[in-house]
Amino acid sequence: MAVDVLMPNLGFDTQTGRLLEWLKQPGDAVSKGDAIAVIESDKANVELEALASGVLLEHLAHAEQEVTIGAVIARIGSATDYQSAAPSTPAATPVTSGSGARVSPVAQRIARELQVPVEQLAGSGGRGRVTRRDVEAYHKEAAQPHPSLTNGTDAHGIKALPRVRKAARERGIDLAAVAAAGFPNPLTLEMLDAFSAPSAAPAPSAPTVPEGAVLVPLSRMRQTIGRRLSDSMREAPHFYVTGEFVFDAALDKLKTLSGKAKINDLILHLVTQTLSRVPALNATFQDGSLYRHEQIHLAVAVAREDGLITPVLHNAGRFSLPGLAAEVRSLVERARTNRLSVDDLQGGTFTVSNMGMIAQVEHFTAVINPPQVAILAVGALKPRPVVIDGGLFIRSTAHLTLSGDHRVVDGMDLARFMAVFQEELDRFSA
């Protein structure tokens, strides 16, 4: 039985994704977990993995197409499924529709079974490829043909699928006017869109660029970041708690450990231990409901030239410090080379944003990453004067600032996080 490949949910409040590239073609063998396509989300380009092993039967979306979340974009089946979809008699050239577009093997088989004339179909697949969906839609809509149509062609000689005629009626478009505008038979939904575009609301005029300035287009990622963080600041009443922590003993302990764990890895490890004891902050708030999560999925802020993304370290509590360090290095590398998977961007329950690599950043406040309820901002670790037992000493300290959503967490939750973090730091350093 064929398995549908769906456009995945690419994150909170994401409605669509753009299919950038197919990595596998119909007829290619695939194994579960293989990357079969590259998808652009609001956050990053990610690889879509196969959920089953078998043969890629067909594409149902083409490259550079914007696809609604949950839509079927491909199907995976067995080698028998693919072979049985081939024509019963060999053909010297690939089967094509009346518009010259190729017809997928599965569509050919279904068309023969339903006695659908593929030469009358306008494909919706990549490069106009006729797919199984096109054949089934034609058969369903042709079951109740319009009385003025004969073989899909009306009295004016205009050829169009029933669904195209229905869309034209709903939009108040005269197909004769579309044909008169120079669009060839058969008319398609894309042609209706192109025909109606001039009558749409006029595009806003280009902004006037000030003298001596350069207009910088905002990427899709940057626009999404702006929208989501603006929504977060507007909807979530933020409040902040800052603490200063001494790391000298912890740094000495790190030097004795095998592996390549660094101070950032240690902070992520300590955050994980702290959240296990302060579960109120390992939560998400969505559609008026608060969810506390058993597992800790740390979202780690990674800066790139085109914006900030937050890939997720899933179930961080299962890692030792060296294991966590290795996993974080891999995650950051994938983020910076556009090799993240869909899962890498989903399911975060708490975010850590570390700007400690910039020595001048003493401390900062971060905007909560919805639907999470808290985020930790980490400033630079550097020598600072510290009073210990009445004496003044120089110690390596860092300021950590915790932002909380006051709708669902209280000040004491944030204060407790800081206190428990100190206990975990002391325990590690001992």
Whole-structure pTM value:
0.63
Q: Between the CA of residue 383 and those of 9, 120, 255, 398, 430, what are the distances in Å?
A: 45, 75, 18, 9, 21
The per-residue pLDDT for 308 is 79
Q: Is 128 left (phi over 0), alpha (psi -120 to 50) or beta?
A: left
Of 358, 355, 368, whose CA–CA distance to 400 is shortest? 355
pLDDT confidence of residue 145:
44
Instruction: Share the mean pLDDT of the chain.
Output: 82
Higher per-residue confidence, 58 vs 224: 58
Highest mean pLDDT among 65-79, 173-187, 368-382: 368-382
Secondary structure of the chain as H, E, C letters: CCEEEECCCCCCCCCEEEEEEECCCCCCEECCCCEEEEEECCCCEEEEECCCCEEEEEECCCCCEEEECCCEEEEEECHHHHHHCCCCCCCCCCCECCCCCEECHHHHHHHHHHCCCHHHCCCCCHHHCECHHHHHHHHHHHCCCCCCCECCECCCCCEECHHHHHHHHHHCCCHHHHHHCCCCCCECHHHHHHHHHHHCCCCCCCCCCCCCCCCCCCCHHHHHHHHHHHHHHHHCCEEEEEEEEECHHHHHHHHHCCCCCCHHHHHHHHHHHHHHHCHHHCEEEECCEEEECCCCCEEECEEECCEEECCEECCHHHCCHHHHHHHHHHHHHHHHCCCEECHHHCCCCEEEEECCCCCCCCCCCCCCCCCECEEEEECCCEEEEEEECCEEEEEEEEEEEEEEECCCCCHHHHHHHHHHHHHHHHHHHC
pLDDT at 287 over 90: no
Q: pLDDT tens across 100-110, in order?
A: 556 665 666 67
pLDDT of 166 reads 74
List residues bridging with 221 in a β-sheet.
none
47-70: average pLDDT: 86
The predicted pLDDT at position 115 comes to 63
Q: Is the pLDDT reported for residue 90 higher than 50?
A: no
Q: Report the amino acid identity of residue 331.
A: L
> What is the average pLDDT across 36-47?
77
Residue 346 is predicted with a pLDDT of 87
Q: Is the pLDDT of residue 142 over 60?
A: no
* Nearest partner of 227 among 67, 69, 13, 10, judged by Cα: 13
pLDDT surpassing 70 at residue 337: yes
Number of CB atoms found within 10 A of residue 415's CB: 14
- Report the C-alpha gap between 230 and 225 in whole angstroms: 8
- What pLDDT shows up at residue 8? 85
Determine the pLDDT at residue 387: 93
Report the pLDDT value the prediction gives residue 168, as an integer from 0 to 100.
Answer: 81
pLDDT mean over 68-78: 86
pLDDT digits (tens, 9 = 90+) for 147-206: 444 445 555 567 777 777 777 877 778 777 777 777 777 788 778 777 776 544 444 566
CB burial readout 90-100, b (16+ within 10 A) else e: eeeeebbbbbe
